[in-house]
Structure 1
């Protein structure tokens, strides 16, 4: 989910403060040692930033005010963990803005204009499209890891598929509450009117995240930081 118009004062400052706090915590908690120790993981990190930005370019605009897209933050969290997933999401938003300015900034007659790719939208986009799904995915991973039933499919399906579907729904609800609390009537009216339309992305979100997570866990399990091979595959 991305907003296309510069946010009002209260909405911006609330999201800006949350963004600074979360980025500070993520920088402190990120697994830098594991990242630097494995060149393959470094390549995967840069590929994730670029891939997310490209995926997010494929947006559906609503009333020239908001844009909906597949987030893919669930599988990003499964591969990199909470800290790096937060930083990857933030970097992907910056790259997305650069792409949008390069592609649409000088174009005429397109929905996207310079005012709609204003940098002030980044904190709001970050809170809704990164912080919420990443935080929810970590909660689902914790629940799956503490479930007594030992089977890799609880990880693939429980986190990658159903966890991603739930993250899409939770993002929608979070946006509704955020715009209501900050009294931003423009975005609140849009999210209220198209609340259930956004839910149509839930299944594609779950399918794409689940498919990528399954493929990575099967073929490159060493890259998936949150996958506990010693737990899911050990004998009961």
Structure 2
């Protein structure tokens, strides 16, 4: 959900940008840089994830007259593969690339970072944490819960927060646009779940070594 700069008041964008930069700073401090540097394959997978995110966001559909582009988020799969901190960093870099390429609005960067990167990444990590606390050792609970359900809930939460932000003073244009297209935002939840669930399942089955949040002892008994 890329938001056009004409819909975002200055105070809202700066407030969201501050929250996003704080999240990026915390992610940079918590990121497992040593583990990432230890294997070139992990670095290559992370670069591929950044390209995947950029591709997902480029291949969006701008809804006529709304100033809002809807697209797959893809951030849940990155959280499952690399953890919250690297997912936030990868998502922010992908957003910055869109702006540099002229495919994104620099003025509305704060709102886009918060709604497209930080919120869905946080929701996805929270769902993973809940799954980790369950006594069940069912592998499907991890793959479907972390990938499918996590992605669905991340879209729902992001769309709900975006609608809430439309009540910000001066965001009347954003509110008007969302009033017409809000149902479409929530309709993205199932395709988002399918996309991320497929990526998570394939990675867990065929390359579990690159899935940082996967606990082999718990789910495979070794």
Superposed pair shares fold, TM > 0.5:
yes
* Aligned counterpart, 1:110: none
* Aligned counterpart, 2:2: 2
* Aligned counterpart, 1:136: 123
Match status 1:152 vs 2:153? no
Q: How far has the Cα of 1:40 moved from its partner?
A: 0.4
Q: Is the CA contact (8 Å cut-off) linking 1:165 and 1:203 kept in structure 2?
A: yes
* Alpha-carbon distance in structure 2 between the residues aligned to 1:70 and 1:38: 29
Q: How far has the Cα of 1:100 moved from its partner?
A: 3.9
* Alpha-carbon distance in structure 2 between the residues aligned to 1:100 and 1:217: 35
* Aligned counterpart, 2:32: 31
Q: How far has the Cα of 1:123 moved from its partner?
A: 1.3
Q: Is the CA contact (8 Å cut-off) linking 1:77 and 1:138 kept in structure 2?
A: yes
* Aligned counterpart, 2:180: 193
* Alpha-carbon distance in structure 2 between the residues aligned to 1:45 and 1:182: 38
Q: How far has the Cα of 1:178 moved from its partner?
A: 1.8
Under a length normalisation based on structure 1, what TM-score does the superposition of the two structures give?
Answer: 0.89
After superposition, the Cα gap between the structure-2 partners of 1:79 and 1:15, relative to the gap in structure 1 and judged at 3 Å, is same
Match status 1:15 vs 2:16? yes
After superposition, the Cα gap between the structure-2 partners of 1:182 and 1:81, relative to the gap in structure 1 and judged at 3 Å, is farther
- The Cα offsets for residues 125-162 of structure 1, whole Å up to 9 and x where unpaired, read as 00000111100011100110011111110011111011
RMSD: 1.4
Q: How far has the Cα of 1:64 moved from its partner?
A: 4.6
* Alpha-carbon distance in structure 2 between the residues aligned to 1:181 and 1:98: 28
* Alpha-carbon distance in structure 1 between the residues aligned to 2:131 and 2:117: 21
Q: Secondary structure at the match of 1:67?
A: strand
- The Cα offsets for residues 177-225 of structure 1, whole Å up to 9 and x where unpaired, read as 1221354111122122211111111111000000000001111111111
Q: Secondary structure at the match of 1:180?
A: coil
* Aligned counterpart, 2:69: 67
* Alpha-carbon distance in structure 1 between the residues aligned to 2:59 and 2:130: 32
* Alpha-carbon distance in structure 2 between the residues aligned to 1:66 and 1:127: 15
Q: Secondary structure at the match of 2:108?
A: helix
| Structure 1 portions without partners, runs of 5+ | 102-116
| Structure 2 portions without partners, runs of 5+ | none
Q: Which residue, out of 164, 168, 180, partners 2:155?
A: 168
* Alpha-carbon distance in structure 2 between the residues aligned to 1:100 and 1:159: 33
Under a length normalisation based on structure 2, what TM-score does the superposition of the two structures give?
Answer: 0.94
* Alpha-carbon distance in structure 2 between the residues aligned to 1:186 and 1:200: 22
Match status 1:214 vs 2:201? yes
Q: Is the CA contact (8 Å cut-off) linking 2:88 and 2:117 kept in structure 1?
A: yes
State the number of aligned residues. 220
* Aligned counterpart, 1:230: 217
